[in-house]
Chains A and B, each alone.
Chain A
């Protein structure tokens, strides 16, 4: 009887999870989505604990309390600029949890483990452990506890390939002979090492794609655990998460005009391959006063933020400047490239936090047709996503990448610390165009100086 009720409660939870994704499709209903997801989870946990008569209830409740008591304060205090590293951390925790459950299941079922279960368990542990170290490295890179530069060395793909071969060998060994005590430790070690090598080889600007891929792996490993436990709710939830990560990863790759394999194994920008045609011309720097005069006369302004916005924490100042420009009679919009920032949608959250109305946040497709009629584009800490070489120079590594076409507007003001090229190491012809002016310095300081000019009126 109880088993039947649990089945129905799991079904209810699955429906709530699906509704949560449906409602996430629109800002208006998105919070209902989050509540539906939370409710589904609560139902699933309570149903499981009652139906399967959880033993060692004290231990279990303490574990839940510890996770909750650490999780809530972090979630409440976390600055929005740190959401990418928090996401990487949750991928690490989630995949480690899956891997540990898989390991425990292996030992619990050991003597009589059937081949199908062993195949799925091996896949689940591989994905789980490699996602754990991979996400941990992503977290350390995003938190800048280690260098964000890709670790590239000769024969890198051969080393990674060997580690994968060892991991797969151990997995096959386990399937053939589950009771051999050496295969599991080898599998775990090789999977951990592979995750480490994989993400060490990836640079900061590729993080949106990598986070999405790790998201997908974490979800798939959860789904695999569902197969092991014959638990359909786990399959549903894990698959939805895996599909979400996978779709986001594809969108990120499309936004960079690159393939999965290129992101994972390319060592983009760190190789000695073509850097595109040499760019020459004159740089035209301008002062804050001159920038103010241009903006003061503008009747339409588009801000184009990149990771530099997050680094200099300039989102609040940008919104203030936007408000002043609007008061001055200008139309103000924000052009958001999908890979601007360190995770999908990063810039939108930062600007929403600064109180920018979300109907002003425009995607590239929506803002590009307006460009010829825009008086001023202000580029804040973005580089590759506004590089016209993507359109003009077939020899450029960025060739074919969809960009925000700021160069088509009447005047471009680029806020930049120095002339250092962007992550891809590619020269940006935008800086040398007739209609481009460079405002050197920290983005936040420059914008605050512009705000001060407006206030002097």
Chain B
């Protein structure tokens, strides 16, 4: 129960911080914002890595490998394309 309480606190604090910070992002940057938060949410790659922390069956390994490849695509591709977009914004 204690662990659940901690997780719920983290969840609620994250909602509040997310709301405060994201409301301040100007519409100008909404596309790079979405692209970067996508890359960040691919932190689910940790979940896929944790599958391999214990003894695995073939099913686990197939699901895990697929999930890692998909998440890695999002992480690396997401940060690279965000960087490309942000470099485009110039003020003369």
Which residues of A come within 8 Å of B, CB atoms?
A: 13, 17-18, 20-22, 24-27, 30-31, 33-34, 37-38, 40-41, 44-45, 48-49, 52-56, 59-60, 62-68, 70-72, 74-76, 78, 80, 83, 86-87, 90-91, 93-94, 96-98, 100-101, 103-105, 107-108, 116, 211-212, 215, 218-219, 222-223, 225-227, 229-245, 247-248, 251, 336, 338, 343-346, 348-349, 352-353, 355, 357-359, 361, 363
Contact = CB atoms under 8 A, between A and B. Distances in A.
Contacts of A68: 72-73, 76
Given A212-B34, A344-B27, A218 B41 contact: yes
A31 B86 contact: yes
Contacts of B89: 27, 30, 352, 358
Contacts of B31: 83, 87, 343-346, 348-349
Q: Looking at chain A's contact residues, is the secondary structure mostly helix, strand, loop, or mixed? A: helix
A71 B33 contact: no
29 contacts: A48-B50, A54-B49, A55-B56, A59-B52, A63-B66, A63-B72, A64-B72, A67-B69, A70-B77, A72-B76, A80-B88, A90-B73, A94-B38, A104-B64, A105-B47, A107-B59, A219-B37, A226-B7, A229-B46, A229-B50, A234-B43, A240-B14, A242-B41, A244-B22, A244-B33, A245-B34, A352-B85, A357-B90, A357-B92
A244 B60 contact: no
A45 to B, nearest CB: 6
A48 B79 CA distance: 20
Contacts of A218: 38, 41
Q: Which has the most chain B C-beta neighbours within 10 Å: A38, A104, A363?
A: A104
Interface of B: 3-4, 6-7, 10-11, 14-15, 17-19, 21-57, 59-61, 63-92
